[in-house]
């Protein structure tokens, strides 16, 4: 079948600041921005460009009211350092009733939950495909 996911759309009260957060969090870039939407894409020339879906933040004046039905799971090389870095960018830890788990549930500046997973064991890690 000749089809792929182009982007993951996230409703947002303020698309530009949320796109800036996710661009910094992922090491990606904002490639388009206007009053109603902002697009975040992988680094130009990286192995991820035109492979992984873009993130499209679209203005929606409705405030988030419940737990996300879709969220991102991030897999860093150092979970604790990444959690600290994301908090520095404006994220916060979130309690959604997860009790004791190996991942850290967090929320972005508009309270969209996402998870920071523990690193993969060294023997299962994939090569880094992002450009330096």
Query: 36-63: per-residue pLDDT in tens?
Result: 999 999 999 999 988 999 999 999 988 8
pLDDT one-digit tens code per residue, 57-74: 999 988 888 888 899 999
The domains of the chain, with CATH numbers, are: 7-60 (3.30.720.120), 71-125 (3.10.180.10)
Token readout for 71 is 């969220």
CB 36 within 8 A of CB 15: yes
Instruction: Give the predicted TM-score (pTM) of the model.
Output: 0.85
pLDDT one-digit tens code per residue, 71-100: 999 999 999 999 999 999 999 999 988 888
Compute φ and ψ for 114, nearest 5 degrees. -155, 165
Contacts of 32 (CB under 8 A, 6+ apart): 38, 39
- How many residues appear in the chain? 132
Sign of CA dihedral 26, 95, 68, 20: negative
């Amino acid at each position: 079948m000749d089809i792929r996911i182009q982007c993951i759309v996230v409703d947002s009260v303020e698309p530009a600041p949320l796109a800036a957060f996710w661009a910094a969090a992922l090491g990606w870039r904002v490639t388009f921005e206007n009053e109603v939407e902002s697009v975040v894409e992988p680094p130009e020339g990286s192995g991820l460009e035109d492979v992984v879906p873009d993130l499209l933040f679209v203005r929606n004046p409705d405030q988030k009211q419940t737990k996300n039905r879709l969220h991102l799971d991030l897999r860093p090389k150092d979970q604790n350092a990444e959690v600290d870095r994301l908090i520095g960018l404006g994220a916060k830890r979130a309690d959604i009733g997860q009790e004791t788990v190996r991942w850290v549930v967090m929320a972005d500046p508009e309270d969209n939950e996402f998870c920071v997973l523990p690193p993969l064991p060294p023997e299962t890690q994939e090569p880094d495909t992002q450009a330096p």
